[in-house]
């Protein structure tokens, strides 16, 4: 039974000041990534903001509602946003939402989907034929396994190994011809797709609030993240920064480029010791890296 809304009266109020589109009237902002990929910003909430402001205004508006009288000590939006970020009052950042359209290799998508705080709708190989698009790194981007990081690579491999790897990819890419041939023979799409490699491209729409976009960026812009997903994260940041510049500035200052010290590290600094009281080799290596960032040693 449908709800009876005949007695409901909707009041349509005009804006208190002229509004502007945070995307400048564009249907989408798009950045190409690698040869076949891209990430595009296709919508923002709020899309319309008071003229001269950005989507940062939604963060400030939400914070002032929840903080009430306490915000009278904060005299400008930038100061309030920096205060929120500095003290980890993150819920106001959820008032900004961003919707992206992405084309990316499946192996990148499988890392990306680990961020479970977004709404995602992906291209389906059950209903549609996967196009003949594959990620193929440049020779200089074929990396050797890192000895310090089991998950990643660091320096390029030698030329022979790189050539062998790229030849291997060329052979893998040829699987798309057999995929198409099997479809032509009547094999169902949902089965034919399972023989394709993970460097084939998929697409999805990915909608996420700004708080969790920042969490994604803090992990995927990190030097330890895989280079291919870092490329997408850098493009994402470039799209977000014009929409919420004050929030992005605070994110850089207090998250991405900040330095967090453990209790043991604080004690070591306070007591003038060269190392924290731990025998964990990874913790000690991270401490040395922090000391270099702080300029305490060469």
Catalytic annotation, residues? 220
Tokens of 158: 């030698």
Tokens of 254: 């207090």
CB-based burial label for 246 (10 Å; 0-12, 13-18, 19+): buried
Helix (H) / strand (E) element for 245: namely helix 245-251
A 10 A CB-CB count for 48 gives 14
Q: Give the list of residues 6+ apart from residue 275 with CB closer than 8 angstroms, or none.
A: 268, 284, 287
> Could you tell me if 63 and 30 are in contact, meaning their C-beta atoms sit under 8 angstroms apart?
no
Helix (H, G, I), strand (E, B) or coil at 205: strand
First to last CA, the chain: 73
| Range list of β-strands (E), 163-263 | 201-209
């Amino acid at each position: 039974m449908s709800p009876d809304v005949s007695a409901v009266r909707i009041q349509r109020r005009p804006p208190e000041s002229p509004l502007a589109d945070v995307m400048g009237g564009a249907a989408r902002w798009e950045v190409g990534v690698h040869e076949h990929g891209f990430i595009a910003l296709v919508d923002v909430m709020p899309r319309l903001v008071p003229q001269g402001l950005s989507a940062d205004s939604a963060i400030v508006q939400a914070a002032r509602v929840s903080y009430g009288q306490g915000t009278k000590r904060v005299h400008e939006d930038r100061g309030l946003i920096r205060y929120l970020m500095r003290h980890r009052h993150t819920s106001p950042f959820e008032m900004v939402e961003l919707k992206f359209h992405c084309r990316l290799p499946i192996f990148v998508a499988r890392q990306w989907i680990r961020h479970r705080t977004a709404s995602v709708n992906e291209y389906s190989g059950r209903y549609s034929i996967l196009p003949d698009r594959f990620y193929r790194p440049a020779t200089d981007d074929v990396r050797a396994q890192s000895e310090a990081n089991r998950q990643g690579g660091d320096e390029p491999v030698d030329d022979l190994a790189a050539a062998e790897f790229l030849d291997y990819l060329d052979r893998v890419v040829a699987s798309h011809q057999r995929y198409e041939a099997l479809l032509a023979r009547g094999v169902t799409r949902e089965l034919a797709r399972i023989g394709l490699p993970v460097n084939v491209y998929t697409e999805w729409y990915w909608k996420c609030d700004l708080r969790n976009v920042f969490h994604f960026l803090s992990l995927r812009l990190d030097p330890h993240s895989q280079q291919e997903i870092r490329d997408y994260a850098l493009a994402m940041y470039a799209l977000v920064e014009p929409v919420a510049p004050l929030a992005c500035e605070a994110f850089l200052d207090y998250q991405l480029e900040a330095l967090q010290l453990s209790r043991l590290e604080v004690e070591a600094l306070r007591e003038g010791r060269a190392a924290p009281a731990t025998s964990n080799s990874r913790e000690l290596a991270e401490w040395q890296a922090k000391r270099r960032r702080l300029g305490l040693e060469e």
